Amino acid sequence: MDVIVDLQYGDCGKGKVAHFLSRTKKYTHVLRYNGGCNAGHTIFHKGKKFITHHIPAGVFFGVRSVIGSGCVLDPDQFFRELKMLKAGGVPSKGKIFIANNTHIITDAHKNEDRQKGGKIGTTGRGNGPAYRDKYGRTGVRAEHVKRLKPYLVDLYKEWYGGKKVHILAEGAQGFGLDIDWGDYPFVTSSHCTAAGALLNGLPSSAVRDVWGVAKIYETYVGSKKFQPKGEVFDRIAELGEEYGSTTGRRRQTNWMNMQTLERAIRMNGVTHIVFNKVDVLRAIKMWAVIDGSRKVSFKTESAMQSFIVKRLKRLGIPRNRVYFSESKERI
């Protein structure tokens, strides 16, 4: 199994990386392993833009795509996404499945989230209350929703039914939002680490590579103060089109924090890393990171990249596994 994990605060381009890796056709399954419709993965496929909240990226290449038991599911949103794919010319029949023990987001969950979740910057999609009821053992599972019956699978049979499987696990949100390791309480309700993929019936021995995804700067959507003063950060947001794909809210921006990045790399066992949106800093002709308590500026893009590559080498990630990307479709 290869795992995709966001190393920052979400919105880093996991959908793009999952879409790119899915096209290799070396995977039998693409698994969405955490989160719910608070996620928003933007995918450009054959010149068209798609935003998926539940459905894994494998469907775009006919790969068996599974919404795992680590997720929570809004059935209405799920069926809206099926219609979106059909309208966009993407065949999905017989390719999209839901773990029968995935928990359901109800209307009551969504109403509660909208009324009570404002202080921590929730998306208001009902994910937190759904996870709470899951762990409080009062939730509803997908196997209890009749209209989902044609899509249900038993993950044990799916993984251990006799056929060899090669899984691409597509994560949601980001390490900085993880329920245990994020900036609590400004976090999501699920496990956003690479280890979260294992909660979908998979052993630790299944993990082969971990693809970390980050932006060359940082963004954050939520109620805590994140963006420093300075017009440069508004310029980055404008050029990077930094608006949440789920809520439409303007993302706060900042320089990339090296300590935050290194912590995420270590705790997720990252073997490959993709830095997205390098063209944004190139457009403003400013390159910088936060290293400890100081800002480190660079005169050129290549100087900044060399600095990053050297730091990653110390963490065991060689240069040929580091990707600086500006494309919307490729890494």
pLDDT in tens, 149-200: 999 999 999 999 989 999 999 999 999 999 999 999 989 999 999 999 999 9
| Catalytic residue (choose from 2, 6, 11, 133) | 11
Q: Is there a catalytic annotation at residue 2?
A: no
| Catalytic residue (choose from 2, 6, 19, 41) | 41
Q: Is there a catalytic annotation at residue 41?
A: yes
Q: How confident is the model at residue 225 (pLDDT cuts 50, 70, 90)?
A: confident
Q: Please determine, for residue 108, whether its predicted confidence score (pLDDT) is greater than 60.
A: yes
Provide the 10 A C-beta neighbour count for residue 88. 13
Q: How confident is the model at residue 102 (pLDDT cuts 50, 70, 90)?
A: very high
As beta bridge partners, residue 213 has: 6, 274
| φ, ψ (nearest 5 deg) of residue 276 | -95, 160
Domain locations in the chain as residue ranges: 2-324
Q: Please determine, for residue 92, whether its predicted confidence score (pLDDT) is greater than 80.
A: yes
Q: Please determine, for residue 54, whether its predicted confidence score (pLDDT) is greater than 70.
A: yes
The pLDDT, as a whole number, for residue 135 is: 96
pLDDT, the chain, mean: 93
Q: How confident is the model at residue 245 (pLDDT cuts 50, 70, 90)?
A: low
> What's the whole-number mean pLDDT along residues 26-36?
96
Q: Please determine, for residue 118, whether its predicted confidence score (pLDDT) is greater than 60.
A: no
Q: How confident is the model at residue 246 (pLDDT cuts 50, 70, 90)?
A: low
**Start-end of H helices in the chain:** 14-22, 75-87, 107-116, 127-135, 155-160, 231-239, 258-268, 278-284, 301-314
As beta bridge partners, residue 35 has: 71
* Helix, strand, or coil (residue 5): strand
**Which strand (E) or helix (H) includes residue 217?**
strand 217-220
Q: State whether the Cα torsion 295-9-12-306 is positive or negative.
A: positive
Total-model pTM: 0.93
Q: Please determine, for residue 208, whether its predicted confidence score (pLDDT) is greater than 70.
A: yes
Q: What is the CA radius of gyration of the chain?
A: 19
Q: Is beta strand 217-220 parallel, antiparallel or unpaired with respect to 252-257?
A: antiparallel
> What's the whole-number mean pLDDT along residues 132-157?
98
Q: Which of 27-36, 239-248, 262-271, 319-328 has the lowest mean pLDDT?
A: 239-248
The tens digit of pLDDT for each residue in 272-307 reads 999 999 999 999 999 999 999 899 999 999 999 999
The pLDDT, as a whole number, for residue 121 is: 57
Out of 3.60.40.10, 3.40.440.10, 3.30.56.10, 2.60.40.1120, which CATH number does the structure's domain 2-324 have? 3.40.440.10
First CA to last CA across the chain, in angstroms?
20
